[in-house]
Amino acid sequence: MQNSDAGSVKVGILTCHPTTGHIRPAWAPVIGPREGQPRRTDMVMSHVWDGEPGQAEAFVAEYGGEAVADYREMIGQVDGVILGDHHQIFDFKHLVRPFLEAGVPIFVNRPFAFCMADAREIVELAREHETPLMCGSSFEYVKEVGVIRRQLEAAGRIRGYLVDNAAGEYAWHGIHGLWMALACVGGGVRRVAHLCADSDPNGVGAIVLEHEGRDGGSPFHGCIQPTGNQGWVRVYGEKGKIEQALAPEGSQWDRDTYLWLPMLLRMQEMFQHGRMPETYEQILEKVQIFLAGFKSHIACGGAPVALGEIGDWVAPNIVEPRFEVAASG
C-alpha cells in the first residue's frame, strides 16, 4: 500500500496493466512508495480505471485508492490524470476526451498518436477547453538535457549532433532517443530519414533529422543510433562540442530518482498549477517528427520524409488492443 503520509495532489490512473505501460511497474512505486519508504512527490494515486477490471483491482490491492467502473467517474475527484498503455494508442483520443472537456490536466504517454489526425484532435480539444496537456519521454527531463541546453548558449550555431539510444524497437523506445535529441537542440526539423535493415514495422535503425538553419546558419543534421548505449548525446557547435551521457543504471534507487522522478515532478507541477512544460504546438511537432520517421521506414524504404508529407498516413497497429473503448463525445 502507498505510504500513509499521502500527498495532496490526487491523480487518476487511466489504464494500469503491468506489462503494457510504465505506470504500474515504473512510475507507481515512485508516486506511491510503500510504507517505510520516503515520499518523493506530493501526488497520491486516488482513483484507477482499466478496461480489464481485474487489473484495476490488482492495482488497488497493491497501491490503494479506489477502482472505478467508468473512467469518467474520476472527473471532479482528481487533480490530474495519467494515461499510458501501448496497446490502446488508437483509443487515446476517446479516453482523453471527457477529461479535456472538463478541464482536467492529463499526461498522455509517448508516442501520443499513430496519425496526425488523432494528434490534432487531442491537441485542438485541449486548446479549445484550455486544458493543460503533456506528452513526453522521461529522457527529455533528465539533468543531462538541461546541461546540454545551458552549454549550447556558449557553443555557437549548431553544426550537427549524434545520439546513442538503447532501443530495441521504434514506437515505444526508439522514440526516447528521438525526443531526447529534440529536447537538447530544439525543433525546426524539415525532414526525417529512418534507415532500418529490419523488415519489422516496429524495427529501429539509424534516424537522421534535417533541421532548418538558425541565426543565418546552414541547415544541420542529427543522427540517432540504436547502439545499445543509454542516452549519450554529443552536439557540435561552431565553438566546440558538448557531450553528456545519461547513466541511471547504478541501482533501482538511481533509476527511480534520476530517470523517472524528474518527469513525474513536471506532471505534478502541471496538475497543481496548470503549467505545461511544452506548448500545444511543440507537442504536435514532436509527434510529426516521430511519424515522419515511422513513415520513412515503413512506406518509403528509408527515404527522407518531410513533415508536410505525412498527410493522412496512419502507422500500423503494432499490437492488438487489450479492450475496446467506445467513442465519447
Across-strand partners of 238?
Answer: none
Domains of the chain, first to last: 9-138 (3.40.50.720), 139-266+276-309 (3.30.360.10)
- Please provide residue 243's backbone torsions phi and psi, each rounded to the nearest 5 degrees: -140, 135
44/7 Cα distance (integer angstroms): 5
Residue type, 201: P
Q: Which residue has the cell 543522427?
A: 223
With bands split at pLDDT 50, 70 and 90, how would you rate the model's confidence at 249?
A: low
Whether the predicted pLDDT of 3 surpasses 80: no
Q: pLDDT digit string (tens) for 143-192?
A: 999 999 999 989 999 999 999 988 889 999 999 999 999 999 999 999 99
Q: Convert the pLDDT of each residue in 44-76 to its tens digit.
A: 999 999 999 999 999 999 999 999 999 999 999
Dist CA 220 CA 218 (whole Å): 6
Mean pLDDT of all residues in 129-140: 97
Quote the CA–CA distance of 104 and 96 in Å, as a whole number: 9
Closest CA to 210 of 131, 289, 147: 289
Q: Residue 1 has what pLDDT?
A: 56
pLDDT band at 37 (very low <50, low <70, confident <90, very high): confident
Q: Which three cell numbers stand for residue 13?
A: 490512473
